[in-house]
Amino acid sequence: GAVVSQHPSRVICKSGTSVKIECRSLDFQATTMFWYRQFPKQSLMLMATSNEGSKATYEQGVEKDKFLINHASLTLSTLTVTSAHPEDSSFYICSALVGLSGEYFGPGTRLTVT
Amino acid sequence: AQTVTQSQPEMSVQEAETVTLSCTYDTSESDYYLFWYKQPPSRQMILVIRQEAYKQQNATENRFSVNFQKAAKSFSLKISDSQLGDAAMYFCAYRTINSGNTPLVFGKGTRLSVIA
């Protein structure tokens, strides 16, 4: 099956610094990738839709200047959390779309901002 | 806009027994996809089963099957012969077919515990 990787799996950073999370489709190409945020014991909350070669589409309430998304190739999308603060601590998950019936998820990244 | 409702925040089942997780959705579309995803403690989202709305036959994958009632907009998941490894959060999700790259609409999830 289709495999999506995320790196890093865990990251701890200091308040005010930036951190980049990579999402890669390992054995397929993905025109569209999605970024989600998940709080403990809650469902996935869509942050943005990342389309290769174009600007990401952000969901209402998500600060595009804080959560920078780049989808420069058909196998890589990155999420950069800029000037991170403790409230940005969360579990971030990416996924890649294969046609309409297949969405494959990365293993997630746990971000802790101290 | 489409919505997905999972009315059971938590469920439990004895090992080897059968459990059914409920999911209802709201849409005005006639064609779409429905999914069940499993999220174990590792938090990796795993596709359990998918159903195309235009197919009347209920999807099955080994011990997992769905009861798709299109008119009632219901999409329940039945897990037979439950195993300890089935313990996880289960999310029901909807995707429109009408546009190319729209995201999934998720329910709030049902936490399933399996009792040995």
| Cβ pair A42:B44 closer than 8 A | no
Q: Residue A82 gets which letter from DSSP?
A: -
Is the predicted pLDDT of residue A39 greater than 80, yes or no? yes
CA distance A100 to B56: 19
- Tell me, what's the pLDDT at B89? 98
Q: Tokens representing B24?
A: 């209802």
| Cβ pair A44:B106 closer than 8 A | yes
User: Which of A75-89, A93-107, B90-104 holds the top average pLDDT?
Assistant: A75-89
| Cβ pair A43:B108 closer than 8 A | yes
Chain B CB within 8 Å of residue A38 CB: yes
- Per-residue pLDDT tens over the stretch B73-105: 999 999 999 999 999 999 999 998 877 678 899
CA of A103: how far to CAs of A1, A31, B12, B62, in Å? 11, 12, 28, 20
DSSP notation for chain B: --EEE---SEEEEETTS-EEE--EEE-S-S-EEEEEEEE-TT---EEEEEEETT--SPPEETTEEEEEETTTTEEEEEE-S--GGG-EEEEEEEEESSSTTPPPEE---EEEEEE-
Which residues in chain A are closer than 8 Å to B106, comparing Cβ atoms? Answer: 43-44
Q: Tokens representing B4?
A: 């997905």
**% pLDDT > 90, chain B:** 88
CA distance A103 to A97: 5
Q: Within a 10 A sphere around the Cβ of A68, how many other Cβ atoms?
A: 16
- Tell me, what's the pLDDT at A110? 97
Instruction: Report the chain B residue with the minimal C-alpha distance to residue A92.
Output: B43
Residue A32 C-alpha, separation from nearest chain B C-alpha, in angstroms: 7
Instruction: Report the chain A residue with the minimal C-alpha distance to residue B96.
Output: A100
Residue B43 C-alpha, separation from nearest chain A C-alpha, in angstroms: 7
Residue B116 C-alpha, separation from nearest chain A C-alpha, in angstroms: 23
Which helix (H) or strand (E) segment is B115 a member of? strand B110-115
- Tell me, what's the pLDDT at B98? 75
Residue A87's SS3 state is helix
The stretch A2-23 carries a mean pLDDT of 96
- Tell me, what's the pLDDT at B100? 67
- Tell me, what's the pLDDT at B79? 98
